[in-house]
Structure 1
Amino acid sequence: MGSPEITSTPAGPAGRKSAVGLRSTRGPVLIAVMLSTGLVALDSTIIATAVPSVVRDLGGFSQFPWLFSVYLLTQAVTVPLYGKFADVLGRRPVMFFGIAVFLLGSVLCGVAWSMPVLIAARAVQGIGAGAVQPMSMTMIGDLYTVEERARVQGYVAGVWAVASVIGPALGGVFSEYLSWRWIFFVNLPLGAVAAWMLYRKFAERVERTRHRVDYRGAALLTVGCTLLILALLEGGVAWSWASVPSVAAFTLAVVLLVAFVLVERRAAEPVLPLWVFTRRTLVGGNLVALVVGAVLLGLSSFLPTYAEGVLGTDALTAGFALAALTIGWPIAASVSGRIYLRIGFRDTALIGSGFTVAGAVLTASLGPSSPVWEAAGSAFVLGIGLGFMSSPTVVAVQSTVGWERRGVVTATNMFSRSLGSAVGTAVFGAIANATLASRFADAPRDVAGHLPSGVDATSRILGGTPDDSATGRYVRDSLGVATHYVFLAIVCVAAIGVVALILMPQRTQPLTFLD
């Protein structure tokens, strides 16, 4: 296909000659990038605290993990394509497309009338977010040197701090006093401002050349990952794990993903080039992104549910408990920028892995009588760890290549994080659903007759619905056991992050170009 290739590289070590002409626009572009990042960050924090209210309104507790997984799945499988398009067409058009689709999905979410419709609308949002997040990180890599990125990463990470306060607060207020639907409509003005600023301040000079887009590889990756998530989320709920549909879904997913690898080996311009899996820095950084995504969304999905369903808090309080995680993250990201310039990317991230494991253990120690401030404190420690792990590894990955491949490696890292979030949420959801289904199936005689069918019995205690009956207490205890098992699984995933970091070399030389 005919497409432009950017020849004037924005600021940074890979393109200092072009940096002079664009330096005056870096400030406004950074603000627009921060707003675009806020578009995704705000939506993530708001939806997490509104899930109980959504379930109370639309039903479908067993389906609520899909609100996260389908969003993350469509985001993950489109990221490699966007990374390729960014290196071919430029960052600007890809970012505009992502913002437009994300806002369309937000409108569809706001008017959804059933859980399946809301899930489908979240998929549209994910397609847009698949462009926004990696393009934001890629543009920062283009505009700033490794030394400057230490400071700029703190600015961008600060967006999560603002979203962590505004998002849960708005989610709680809307859920309590207005409607959860407004959590999606607030994206519209933020996205419009970000798009306008990028249109006015970010420009690229291009010249035409020919490229081939790997649509076959993209299709195999999309369908394979979708079947894998489907099998994980519906196994033990819609069908038993050993049933024909479950085995068929897992088998077909594996076959398609193997076929994807074979196609990528022969593709002229693969959507996910296999060379990114042959460098220790890239492999380690992508594995860390996988872990970060799983831990982040696992806690975001189930901590508000634990706070409301087990501790009996309202949506606003549950939102602030989760906000502690996204407050700790940008604080650590800002500090890590100074540290990794002195001791290296890997050692800085290893500090973070210690905090992550500690925070996960603290979360797993929460019980039915724990005060909500303990939940918030555990989330804060986890956020510190994730901030120290994520920022250094992203910069390390970007620093191994030049401009012409930075979009690909950044998109691959974001793909790994989104895939980790999607698969992690699916696995954690499967653990929670299996635990609840087992306990409800073996409920005491005086309770069993009052339980609705399936795990949707949890709607009795979610969304601010008080229930002090024997049935309500049993449902609350069951949800406490289910979330405890999920938190234990998060501990195991956090420990894997330590192993992933050991795979990375101790010292990563900035801008070591691949052959």
Structure 2
Amino acid sequence: MSAPHEPVPTGPVPVARHTREGIWSARYVWVTVGAVAMIFLAAMQSLAITTVMPFVVADLQGEALFAVAFSGTLATSVIGMVAVGAWCDRSAPTVPLTSAVALFVVGLLLAGLAPTMEVLVAGRLIQGLGVGGETVALYVVVARVYPSLLHGRVFAAFSAAWVVPSLIGPFLAGAVSDFLHWRWVFLGVAVLTAGAFVMVALRLWGLPMHTDEPSRAPIAPRLACAFLVAAGALGVSLAGEAGPFALPVVAASVVLILVAVRPLLPRRTLLAGRGLPSVILMRGVIAGALFGAEIYIPYLLIAEYGFTATWAGLGLTAAAIAWAAGAEVQGRVGDRLGNQRITVIGTALLTTAALVAMATALWLLSPAVIIAGWALAGAGMGLMYPRLTVLTLAYSTPANQGFNSAALSISDAVGAASAIAVMGLVFTGLGGTGAEYPAVFAIAAVLALLALVPGLRMGRAHEQR
């Protein structure tokens, strides 16, 4: 993301003082196209798979693994993030990005051809390795290709890359599932990813993106921690299979996650330390609130309102469009709003959306209520997500861009995976009582409110231009 700036031993990323070039100018256009394409494809698979997963578990008789199919991908993504983050701190991000995309495609192919739910989950685990590494590599690409003045615009473009998938992704996934087969949702994204990467790979390979201050920190301990974090997240997800030992398994898994994740994050992150630690922590909390609850939106529309896959997919469209709109607002006036206002507005929108979803599920209100209400969640996340990424880079130096970018994505994945796992346990435990959907949305509302704690302690880096 930044046109190689000069190494700075301490302090924020240097500011480009004068430039008339934008992210779509001749100098940056092919990198922008490639990076946005990767985000586009990640958005496509995320939105599409969320829509069709209720039909996948029904077809493969894998209802018990519904939450694991999501949380498992997020859990293994931590491993990919750590590996690629360390790799990027030692070299150019091009080879790490290529490796990550290859794993992503392999995982999609395995899931699309899976004969059982267990094999599909295995494919999702491999997919997680790829998408986690891809995310971190793209952040480092931005840091080393673009001047810091353009970082906010790049991340606004990343968020806006969800617009087209939000318009066609859920609807197309539902239509493919209804008229062809859900397997083509996985296989189609795999083909699209391979084709897009071939088109942009040569452009990335031609750019000098090596760091002048390669990190010499040992990789093995961090990789071991990443594996333990992934194991802990999977342990929470699968705790329901432990019968009477479910609670001890959950407790042990949570302790394992907290202990193992600490070396992967900046110091005092779990204590909401001021500055970068709170930026990283807030990302995980709001990710848990949104993504933990969002997978149950189409599930509710299908199970309780009789929606087809096509129409259930459209239930997520308003939220995705609102996300892109919120990101655009952040990109244009984020500096004037300031971090505290963005935090208050964003968390208020997210909390309100969760409460509207809870009320809809509790009293079976019109499905239009939950669809419109969930759009508020998208708007809030659009404000907060790109802002947190800009702040992370503003607090970073060329020597730790990989570590901090990985930490941001790790917090995102661990927060979402843990929330999905816990919500899955609650949902399964309350199954058939009528309280399962309201319960998961109530958990999301609590998490959204908790995000205020780190959100008001983020401080001000040199992100303002």
User: Out of 306, 320, 329, which is 2:314 matched to?
Assistant: 320
Change (3 A) 1:396 1:255: closer
Structure 1 equivalent of residue 233 of structure 2: 229
Cα separation, 1, equivalents of 2:187 and 2:410: 26
Q: Deviations over 1:31-88 (max 9, x none)?
A: 1001111221111101111112112210121211111011000012331221121111
User: Out of 416, 425, 443, which is 1:421 matched to?
Assistant: 416
- Partner letter of residue 499 of structure 1? V
- Partner letter of residue 105 of structure 1? G
- Partner letter of residue 429 of structure 2? A
8 A Cα contact 2:108 2:189, kept in partner: yes
Structure 1 equivalent of residue 290 of structure 2: 296
Question: Once the 2 structures are TM-superposed, how far is the Cα of residue 230 of structure 1 from its aligned partner?
Answer: 3.5
Cα separation, 1, equivalents of 2:55 and 2:105: 22
8 A Cα contact 2:284 2:411, kept in partner: yes
Change (3 A) 1:255 1:134: closer
Cα separation, 1, equivalents of 2:220 and 2:94: 21
Structure 2 equivalent of residue 510 of structure 1: 463
Q: Deviations over 1:86-129 (max 9, x none)?
A: 11122111111111110111111110000110000000000000
Structure 2 equivalent of residue 127 of structure 1: 129
8 A Cα contact 1:298 1:490, kept in partner: yes
Change (3 A) 1:257 1:357: closer
8 A Cα contact 1:288 1:389, kept in partner: no
1:481 partnered with 2:435: yes
- Partner letter of residue 304 of structure 1? P
Cα separation, 1, equivalents of 2:36 and 2:448: 28
Cα separation, 1, equivalents of 2:3 and 2:164: 36
Question: Once the 2 structures are TM-superposed, how far is the Cα of residue 247 of structure 1 from its aligned partner?
Answer: 2.5
Change (3 A) 1:119 1:254: same
- Partner letter of residue 155 of structure 1? A
- Partner letter of residue 224 of structure 2? A
Q: What secondary structure is seen at the aligned counterpart in 2 of 1:366?
A: helix
Q: May I ask how many residue pairs the two structures share in their alignment?
A: 451
Q: What secondary structure is seen at the aligned counterpart in 1 of 2:369?
A: helix
- Partner letter of residue 284 of structure 2? L
User: Out of 375, 379, 383, which is 1:380 matched to?
Assistant: 375
**Equivalences for 1:1-400 in 2 at 5 Å?**
8-9=4-5, 14=14, 24-202=26-204, 203-204=207-208, 206=210, 211=216, 213-223=218-228, 225-240=229-244, 243=245, 247=248, 250-251=251-252, 254=255, 258=259, 264=263, 272=265, 274=267, 280-367=274-361, 369-400=364-395
Change (3 A) 1:377 1:254: same
Question: Once the 2 structures are TM-superposed, how far is the Cα of residue 255 of structure 1 from its aligned partner?
Answer: 5.5
Q: Deviations over 1:306-338 (max 9, x none)?
A: 000011111111111122221111110110112
Cα separation, 2, equivalents of 1:210 and 1:343: 35
Q: Deviations over 1:143-180 (max 9, x none)?
A: 33444233332222111111112210121012111111
Q: Which moved more, 1:185-194 or 1:175-184?
A: 185-194
- Partner letter of residue 34 of structure 2? A
Change (3 A) 1:429 1:99: same
8 A Cα contact 2:319 2:379, kept in partner: yes
Q: What secondary structure is seen at the aligned counterpart in 1 of 2:430?
A: helix
Q: Deviations over 1:278-325 (max 9, x none)?
A: 862212111221122212322331011100001111111111112222
Contiguous gaps of at least 5 residues in structure 1: 1-5, 265-270, 440-477
Q: What secondary structure is seen at the aligned counterpart in 1 of 2:242?
A: coil
8 A Cα contact 2:96 2:133, kept in partner: yes
Cα separation, 1, equivalents of 2:418 and 2:426: 12
Question: Once the 2 structures are TM-superposed, how far is the Cα of residue 206 of structure 1 from its aligned partner?
Answer: 4.3
8 A Cα contact 1:350 1:389, kept in partner: no
8 A Cα contact 2:211 2:398, kept in partner: no
8 A Cα contact 2:104 2:128, kept in partner: yes
Change (3 A) 1:7 1:396: closer
Flag the structure with larger Rg.
1
Change (3 A) 1:10 1:44: farther
RMSD of aligned residue pairs (Cα, Å) = 3.0
- Partner letter of residue 122 of structure 2? A
Q: Which moved more, 1:62-71 or 1:297-306?
A: 297-306
8 A Cα contact 1:345 1:396, kept in partner: no
Cα separation, 1, equivalents of 2:91 and 2:369: 48
Cα separation, 2, equivalents of 1:212 and 1:403: 14
Q: Deviations over 1:469-511 (max 9, x none)?
A: xxxxxxxxx4x42111111111111111122212222x33339
Change (3 A) 1:149 1:205: closer
Change (3 A) 1:207 1:25: same
8 A Cα contact 1:13 1:145, kept in partner: no
Identity of aligned residues (%): 24
Cα separation, 2, equivalents of 1:103 and 1:161: 22
Cα separation, 2, equivalents of 1:397 and 1:211: 21
8 A Cα contact 2:391 2:461, kept in partner: yes
Cα separation, 1, equivalents of 2:230 and 2:141: 29
8 A Cα contact 1:349 1:392, kept in partner: no
Q: What secondary structure is seen at the aligned counterpart in 2 of 1:70?
A: helix
Cα separation, 1, equivalents of 2:77 and 2:209: 28
8 A Cα contact 2:292 2:423, kept in partner: yes
Q: What secondary structure is seen at the aligned counterpart in 1 of 2:161?
A: helix
Question: Once the 2 structures are TM-superposed, how far is the Cα of residue 226 of structure 1 from its aligned partner?
Answer: 3.4
Q: What secondary structure is seen at the aligned counterpart in 2 of 1:510?
A: coil
User: Out of 427, 433, 454, which is 1:500 matched to?
Assistant: 454
